[in-house]
Structure 1
């Protein structure tokens, strides 16, 4: 089924809830600038394996309210909690991709412990602990990279989204890559459903939010999955640092895989996710 949850500040957050209600729930958190539709390959896989699967559209994204403000990790996590609380999800596995990984880290640190709501966590190609290059984070990306995303979003996001999806996001710009036009079109479709303001302000949220303390606060088993050819969230300043901050973290690196490996390599990633959840 699908529905909407009303947040404390009056937004309608769209969600999908498939599978038996008495099964262990898996909640998926999508990346920028997409929607819950980006999890189709995982939601179908896990519902067919007997799990309850839940995914929502972040505020300003997909079918959720195109609100003017609140485009930051605190609100993202609070909105996710509103969905989990409404559906009374307990002993859940939370899986976050890219910006959604930051959302998961903040959610678990602020809302998931110790109430028994979170069993395990998976961070896939995720942005924590901090993407931006600073004096304390010299491995990060310079602010000019994110300013370029802001400029592209403000001036012609339709073209920016097409360029990102057909190029670095899925590694389609690599020599010898198999390009799937439908995947590019679906990425563009999801992005254009959302709010330009939410996307513009979300760039700051995913690039400048230091989530070191969030990662340190997570105590449940956490799997960090990352491709070593990720051109969007380079592995050196994300996964390789995150796993050192987690109390109970495991790192799995995929040689040559891109940022969007959940789609391009679902046949490998999905069984690995299942093994971790069952383990």
Structure 2
């Protein structure tokens, strides 16, 4: 298993598959998951001849379950540690949900200044900010996320089962084709990580204002969102991202859920490839 040590001494697990001289496609996972959530995309891009890279966020998956640093600043710095260790250049960074916030922070603060990034993709991503603020009054109430924290602290295993079996994949919608193995895999990934990292990560993904990060991303950026996303509402996320980003293309998928990269990989993967190759 491959690890890199960050500047503050945290062991971060990563995967690095494919030809080392091929263009890198880097994947950033959502809360509370791991790099395994990108299996469908990594295998797809690997089959197209790309180098595919993904890491487990600190406190998630196989990375070290440290007590501190569960915030967007550290997430971006940890991502940079992996990119610098592998010396990845001309990379396309793709982030889902909280991973989209991580992409925005990494690309703006490290990737572009270091000349490492060619393009970026935000999928069902959390920026600019999820909670209601003076700048974004249409955001969600902080009480929503307080509820997440309470449910996680009371029974993390049940909470994770409920999220995966319900709103994440839209399995709570009438007529949805529910996949128990997909639910089990979400639960497996979540339970691999640290309860503390997951608890504190809720604040990171909901209360971090990333407007300045989005403004600083000058590379071509694809914004993808489902209009039936029950976790990150598209009008307060994807639509705003496209308005703030200097060089954005927005695509909204009718009826698609938050976890559309899994439920609709047959549609999303070709769209991602087309953007990478454009």
Q: Shorter-chain-normalised TM-score: which range?
A: over 0.9
Q: Which residue of 2 aligns with 1:21?
A: 20
Q: Which residue of 2 aligns with 1:243?
A: 242
* In 1, Cα distance between equivalents of 2:74 and 2:100: 14
1:78 maps onto 2:81 in alignment = no
Q: Which residue of 2 aligns with 1:149?
A: 148
Q: What whole-Å deviation, never above 9, does each CA across 1:209-251 have from its counterpart, x for those lacking one?
A: 0000000000000000000000000001101101011110010
| Higher deviation after alignment, 63-72 or 105-114 | 105-114
**Displacement of 1:138:** 1.5
* In 1, Cα distance between equivalents of 2:41 and 2:252: 19
**Displacement of 1:153:** 1.1
SS of the residue 2:66 aligns to: coil
* In 2, Cα distance between equivalents of 1:195 and 1:153: 11
Q: Which residue of 1 aligns with 2:122?
A: 123
4+ aligned runs moved over 2 Å, structure 1 = none
1:160 maps onto 2:176 in alignment = no
* In 1, Cα distance between equivalents of 2:242 and 2:201: 24
* In 1, Cα distance between equivalents of 2:150 and 2:204: 16
Q: Which residue of 2 aligns with 1:89?
A: 88
Q: Which residue of 1 aligns with 2:109?
A: 110
SS of the residue 1:109 aligns to: helix
Q: What whole-Å deviation, never above 9, does each CA across 1:8-27 have from its counterpart, x for those lacking one?
A: 11111000000000000011
Q: What whole-Å deviation, never above 9, does each CA across 1:47-95 have from its counterpart, x for those lacking one?
A: 0000000000000000000000100000000000000000010000000
Q: How many residues align?
A: 278
**Displacement of 1:34:** 0.1
**Displacement of 1:116:** 2.0
| Higher deviation after alignment, 257-266 or 108-117 | 108-117
SS of the residue 1:162 aligns to: helix
* In 2, Cα distance between equivalents of 1:159 and 1:249: 38
Instruction: Give the aligned CA root-mean-square deviation in angstroms.
Output: 0.6
For normalisation by structure 2, the TM-score amounts to 0.99
**Displacement of 1:136:** 2.3
Q: Which residue of 2 aligns with 1:33?
A: 32
Q: What whole-Å deviation, never above 9, does each CA across 1:148-193 have from its counterpart, x for those lacking one?
A: 1100111101000000000000000000000000000000000000
